[in-house]
Amino acid sequence: MGTIINSQLPELLDILTLKSEEPNVFIGKNLFIGSPNVYGGQVLAQAVAVANSTIHDEKILHSIHSYFINPGDNDIDITYKVEVVKNGKSFNTRRVVASQNGRDIFILSASYQKPENGIEHQDIMPNVARPESLTSFSDLFAEFAAEFKIQPRGIFAPNGPFVFHPVEHYDPFHPRIRPALNHTWFKTNGSLDDNPLLHQTTLAYASDFNLLITALFPHGLSFFTTPMQIASLDHAMWFHRPARTDDWLLYVVESSNANNGRAFCSGKIFTKDGILVASTAQEGLIRKL
């Protein structure tokens, strides 16, 4: 499986390789995917990448907790500063602060654990249609893009860094009321090498997709039809087991609550074989304008 022609995947891999200006200080470029501000998953993934680069033992990233403080400007490089909070026997801790022009836009805490044996169990993957039998977001969106004169980008574009195959048919221009539950298959738009840290960072990048839009389903809303402000406020992620992001993964997302202009969403990510590899949780701002 090679990279799809004109895929943005090489650009994504490029921005996930950050330049080090001085010890534990890195400069990151931005990948424009159509959002008015820097895509939150990009800042998340770059913060994970720089935190990973300061780990020099066998410990593996198992959880991240982060806050989006200010919107990021697509036209300005992002500075990431990593603080070594702890280097322990079983766990390491890192703190990352991202800023633009001296203004903090994002903070992240990351925890790493030395591999060890213990009890094991996991949720069962839902029985849903396989990805090969489904239509991609980009193909679904193309049916409407010409009619509404919209240029597909990011999740809706055929050249995006990831390919998404929704299980439930999604028409962003004619939203219907449905339960706050979403199943989407995804993978990179091309192949990756075997570096497990790269698969972790790209998984973090993709984890911000599809979370908040799930909270719109019970209300029959879409940001293509209803003026609204929608933005991630925080993002937590737990890495349970290794995964390859260039093979199909199922993202199961549900929204259990919305009030006071905020919505809470949580997700589980499974391999095609039903292995639970990660869990996510996010609260986001949703304001009708």
Cα distances from 93 to residues 84, 152, 178, 200, in angstroms, run: 7, 39, 40, 17
Sign of CA dihedral 125, 130, 131, 135: negative
* Active-site position among 99, 208, 222, 246: 208
CA neighbor of 170 nearest in space, from 188, 159, 155, 189? 155
Q: What is d(CA 199, CA 192) in angstroms, rounded to the nearest whole number?
A: 8
**C-beta separation of 108 from 66 below 8 A:** yes
- The token pair at 213 is 């839009």
Residues 6+ apart with CB under 8 A from 121: none
**C-beta separation of 190 from 246 below 8 A:** yes
* Active-site position among 136, 232, 255, 279: 232
Q: What is d(CA 214, CA 231) in angstroms, rounded to the nearest whole number?
A: 13
The 10 Å CB-count burial string (b at 16+, else e) for 33-55 is bebeebbbbbbbbbbbbbbbbbb
Residue 221: count of CB within 10 angstroms of its CB: 18
The angle formed by the CA atoms of residues 72, 81 and 202, to the nearest 5 degrees, is: 65
CA count, 13 A, side-chain hemisphere, 162? 29
Placement of tokens 């702890």 in the chain: 86
282 is catalytic: yes
46 is catalytic: no
For the annotated catalytic residues, the residue numbers are: 208, 232, 282
